[in-house]
Amino acid sequence: MLKTIVLIGMMGSGKTSVGKELAKNLNLNFIDSDQEIEKKCKISIPSIFEKKGEDYFRKIEEKICCKLIDGKPKILSLGGGAFINSKIRKEIKKNGISFWISTNLENIYDRLLQSKNKRPMLDYNNLKKSIKDIYDSRKEIYKKADYTIRTKSDNKKNIVKKIIENL
Ligand code: S3P
């Protein structure tokens, strides 16, 4: 039986584009937790960080993610920090199946450098180090995902294939 399929991993790892492609393949809805947070708060993620701070963001993130991980078949892409929250991980264990999209740091760097969506967690004056520090602090937790999908290239069709093989 299909559960809520949850994609986790670093910012810029391709969770959203992989998630959309996967949803198309499995004929399921795609939901992005950050978009849901923005809808609920009616402001952008950077504005939430700027106006209310990270702690406030993490509380809203916990509430919204726990609600979305309800066991109903869908593809859910989580913001990079969501899986670090133990309550969210518990909810995934209960109602979901998790895939860590483990993209190499060079690719992540290239994507984040080009992305118009500026992430408030990053220091763009020292981007490589900033990515590496966040990755090092999180990787042991990302490893707790049910499956790890390692990717070197941008080939989202291959990544989707690997995920489907594990379902
Ligand atoms: C964050 C990742 C972002 C967003 C917020 C915090 C993080 O999502 O939730 O800026 O702590 O890694 P993406 O992973 O979709 O960029």
Domains of the chain by residue range: 4-161
Specify the CATH architecture of the domain 4-161: 3-Layer(aba) Sandwich (3.40)
Q: If you take atom 8 of ligand 1, which residue's CA is the nearest one?
A: 79
Ligand 1 atom nearest to CA at 9: 14
Consecutive sets of 10 residues in the chain, 167 residues long: mean pLDDT of each?
92 96 97 98 97 98 98 98 98 98 95 94 97 98 97 84 94
Backbone angles phi, psi at 151, to 5 degrees: -130, 140
Ligand 1 close to Cβ of residue 19 (< 6 A): no
* The pLDDT value given to residue 155: 85
CA distance 23 to 25: 5
Ligand 1 close to Cβ of residue 65 (< 6 A): no
* The pLDDT value given to residue 1: 59
Interacting residues of 100 by C-beta distance below 8 A, sequence separation 6+: 8, 9, 142, 143, 145, 147, 148, 149
Q: If you take atom 9 of ligand 1, which residue's CA is the nearest one?
A: 79
Give the end-to-end CA distance of the chain in Å, rounded to a whole number. Answer: 9
* The pLDDT value given to residue 129: 98
